[in-house]
Amino acid sequence: MIPVQGFEGRVVAVLGLGRSGLSAARALREGGAVALCWDDNPAAREAAAAEGFELRELARAGGFDGVDRLVVSPGIPHLYPAPNAVVAAAWDAGVPVDNDIGLFFRSLGQGEWDMFDTPPRVVAVTGSNGKSTTSALIHHILTSSGRDSQLAGNIGRGVLDIDPPGDGGVVVLELSSYQTDLARALTPDVAVFTNLSPDHLDRHGGMGGYFAAKRRLFSEGGPDRCVIGVDEAEGRYLANQMSEGAADDRVIRVSSGTKLSGPGWDVFARKGFLTEWRKGRQVASIDLRQVRGLPGAHNHQNACAAYAAARALGVAPRVVEAAFMSFEGLPHRSQIVAEAGGVAYVNDSKATNVDAALKALQAFPKVRWICGGLMKEGGLGGLAPGFPNVVKAYVIGREAAGFALGLPGVEAEVCTDMETAVTRAIAEAQPGEVVLLAPAAASFDQYDNFEQRGDDFAAKVRAGLGG
């Protein structure tokens, strides 16, 4: 645990008692603060009370009397589409609002760091798609190379649950826009921006607010090194903002599909090969085509970002390459769950938006595509470049018929439920094809989360294949 620093003997309110909220309350108490807790869910309140935390309904009159800080869990809106009532009450009471990420950066440095030969480092990864894979891959590279590394944030453990890093240790954080938007302290040593595509727009008041939340990791944090995907205009803008010139190698530009060159530091993937280019010459190259855990151009972008972050930490190219080969990928992200009769079955349930689903479709030449769910804003038009790879679509979800109408030119069968879709896909799949779950939609119409949806797909595939 990272004890929260700076609030000894003071009262801090914690709103939302899920994983991050309850860990924040524990870390506050460990650091000598008094944590007042609240959650609208009675079961969450009971769990906090069982650990000895005092409960207070913060939205009531006088709820913030004596409170020095409010810590808000990431799932709770603080501005758009409307401020949570407790957050608004904190504003009115003049109480600063923060989250566990801000507490983490505020509290990370310990007195014993003065005795370390190599100070600990923090790598923070944000972006729309690929954050989890990139973060896990960086962590895998570091541990494979013998470095002490911990993975936390939006993946793995809560940021305040990890152990204080030791001499030369690295903390790898995946940070969502919800987390970067509110944190009052953001000071990573290496900051990574993967890409940007429309997502969570209601929560950020539009695309500009969404990008602004991501950008805070760089503009507020002042990282020593920035790894920035430049395949979208926002990434090119951010790289330009963080750089003092073309030769400024504090910014490592990353691309999947575009050759980058110049006097600075670039990492790009083209035709299945990753290339590192620095100071006007090629430094290293890796053949990604045989890396089983990183299929497709979108994963090659993840590989470039992870490679660049590892190089910024001093890991040698051949060490990174060896780690790539042993990386098995993450559940629900281009995860091969079965192979039978020349057909691969791939779970990409995390592809909850159009951009992620498009990248999954483009990773495989012949796809039997299981898609559908709770559609997001913006429609399905962005999927069109992937349609040539689709042999047939099997549409699930309560709005399956409407979803199918948004796939012009694609043979689509309305299946509604996962069992029907998987059964039909198994029956019709031919050798050399891929049965791919890439929903391009949220899961909440039929499942609690994308993990549950992916697990159901994997279970139905194994049952359908006889084991």
Is 259 known to sit in a ligand binding site? no
Cα gap 55→68, rounded to integer Å: 16
Is 347 known to sit in a ligand binding site? no
Cα gap 42→23, rounded to integer Å: 18
Is 129 known to sit in a ligand binding site? yes
* 35, 25 Cβ separation under 8 angstroms: yes
Pairing type for strands 11-15 and 412-416 reads unpaired
Is 219 known to sit in a ligand binding site? no
The 3-state DSSP class for residue 27 equals: helix
Give 57's DSSP letter. -
- Side-by-side strand order, sheet with 335-340: 335-340, 343-347, 434-437, 367-371, 390-396, 412-416
Q: Report angle CA 289, 292, 295 to the nearest 5 degrees.
A: 65
Is 349 known to sit in a ligand binding site? no
Is 133 known to sit in a ligand binding site? yes
Give 353's DSSP letter. S
* 21, 36 Cβ separation under 8 angstroms: no
Is 154 known to sit in a ligand binding site? no
Cα gap 467→464, rounded to integer Å: 7
Residue with tokens 């009532």: 85
Residue closest to 137 by CA, chosen among 345, 286, 284, 241: 286
Which residues line the annotated binding site for ATP? 127-133
Binding residues, as ranges, are: 127-133
